[in-house]
Structure 1
Amino acid sequence: MIFEWEASEIAESYTVFVTNLVDGTSIQQDSNEDKIGIVLDRATPYAWYVVSKRGTVTAESETWKFYNSGPGVETHAPFPATINAPAMAASVNSGNVTLRWTGSDVDNDIASYDVYLGTNNNPDIHAADVTASALNVSVTSGTIYYWKIVTKDAVGNTSMSGIFQFRVL
């Protein structure tokens, strides 16, 4: 952490005092400049002040408090699944159809997929927590089906593909 303060025109040197507000330990470092780097623990609150010196004369600044945050937690929602088959408005034979999709995630932590399938344009869930990227489903001749994929990652982020449709011959 770099500590900086306004330089005094008459100061010859400075001493920086940093106190860990959790355990009370203090660090004291001298500097001939108006800034200094000090290694501190993360996720810890601190207080600090500066004493300027010229010979035997000293002046103490006010005390400032701050929190040295921990490492940021960064997660990304998975990208919406790419629908591979059947394609939008495709015609398929009756019986069984294999729904295929591709998932991707910056964090590489896709946990599972929820597959929605139905005969209306807001399909209900058909299969939850599918870990493969394909699912074989039974379909009825003369019917239009709608489907979508919800991709879920290991920390609970989700994304939804668009809704696709296909016709069964």
Structure 2
Amino acid sequence: MRKEFVLYLGILAMACGKDSPKPPEAALLSFPLQNSECTTGVSLNNNTSQVEFRWQEARYADTYELKVTNVLTGLSITNAPTTALSSFVPVLKGTPYKWRITTRNTETQEIGFSEEWFFYNAGTQTTYPPFPAQLIEPASGTPVVRDLNNEITLKWTSGDADNDIQSYEVYLDTDPDPQQLVASPSVSITQVKASVAIDTVYYWKVLTLDRAGNISDSGVYSFRVIR
């Protein structure tokens, strides 16, 4: 009996000592830079240039998948998984894009996602509209609880290749196409308070305005106030 018990402990120790599969970590993006104008692409024709996307090696990652999305149309290009740390993609000139890297390995079903970076592919423009604001809070479709003043906080982030954002316009409404302007903060402010009613679905968006008169639209998010 004692020998069987010792054998059981040995097997248990071996099982506990075996390393669990490690999920791939997120890749760190290198180029094109966040909120930049990419001027290094190789011109293919009047409308398109080929841009090299680069990222850093991620721990426990076997392959990397590049996804590049046209911000104006929502159309994406997704490259086949690769072991390389760069990839060339043809993109339209004078057009805003966002890109990210998905990491995978053969040991686990878990995947890693990099940050999502925005850039303008250089064209003939001398000025670019701001990148659409990224709505952070409340996340779309989430339940929201009011504070003691019956208000909630709307938060967003933004960027601009020209670095000339002037202000924002924040719209909040019960209509899916929000038209009620609730705040017009300056460039240094990226969150505002707004009064809301209980058990109500709201829709919100942010317009970003720059000093050249360009405007970008974040698109609409929704949330429900539950109490």
Paired with 1:127 and 1:147, the residues of 2 have a C-alpha distance of 10
Gaps of at least 5 residues in structure 1 are 1-71
Asked if the contact 2:182–2:194 (Cα under 8 Å) also holds between the matched residues in 1, the reply is no
Asked if the contact 2:183–2:192 (Cα under 8 Å) also holds between the matched residues in 1, the reply is no
Q: 2:175 aligns with which of 120, 127, 135?
A: 120
Paired with 1:156 and 1:149, the residues of 2 have a C-alpha distance of 16
Larger Rg: 1
Q: Secondary structure at the match of 1:130?
A: coil
When the two structures are superposed, what TM-score results if normalisation uses the length of structure 1? 0.55
Paired with 2:135 and 2:216, the residues of 1 have a C-alpha distance of 13
Residues 74-121 of structure 1, C-alpha deviations (whole Å, 9 max, x = no match): 100000000010000011113211000001000011100011110010
Asked if the contact 1:116–1:149 (Cα under 8 Å) also holds between the matched residues in 2, the reply is yes
Paired with 2:164 and 2:180, the residues of 1 have a C-alpha distance of 22
Q: 2:165 aligns with which of 110, 118, 124?
A: 110
Q: What percentage of aligned pairs have identical amino acids?
A: 43
Paired amino acid for 1:153:
D
Give the aligned length. 98
Does 2:149 correspond to 1:92?
no
Gaps of at least 5 residues in structure 2 are 1-123
Distance 1:128 1:92, change over 3 A: closer
Paired amino acid for 2:143:
S
Structure 1 vs Structure 2 CA RMSD: 1.4
Distance 1:121 1:82, change over 3 A: same
Which residue of 1 is the match for residue 81 of structure 2?
A: none
Extract structure 1 runs of 4+ deviating beyond 4 A: none
Asked if the contact 2:133–2:217 (Cα under 8 Å) also holds between the matched residues in 1, the reply is yes
Paired with 1:153 and 1:87, the residues of 2 have a C-alpha distance of 25
Asked if the contact 1:114–1:125 (Cα under 8 Å) also holds between the matched residues in 2, the reply is no
Q: Secondary structure at the match of 2:139?
A: coil
Paired amino acid for 1:77:
P
Paired with 1:77 and 1:88, the residues of 2 have a C-alpha distance of 24
When the two structures are superposed, what TM-score results if normalisation uses the length of structure 2? 0.42
Paired with 2:210 and 2:216, the residues of 1 have a C-alpha distance of 9
Paired with 1:108 and 1:114, the residues of 2 have a C-alpha distance of 18
Which residue of 1 is the match for residue 11 of structure 2?
A: none
Paired with 1:74 and 1:125, the residues of 2 have a C-alpha distance of 33
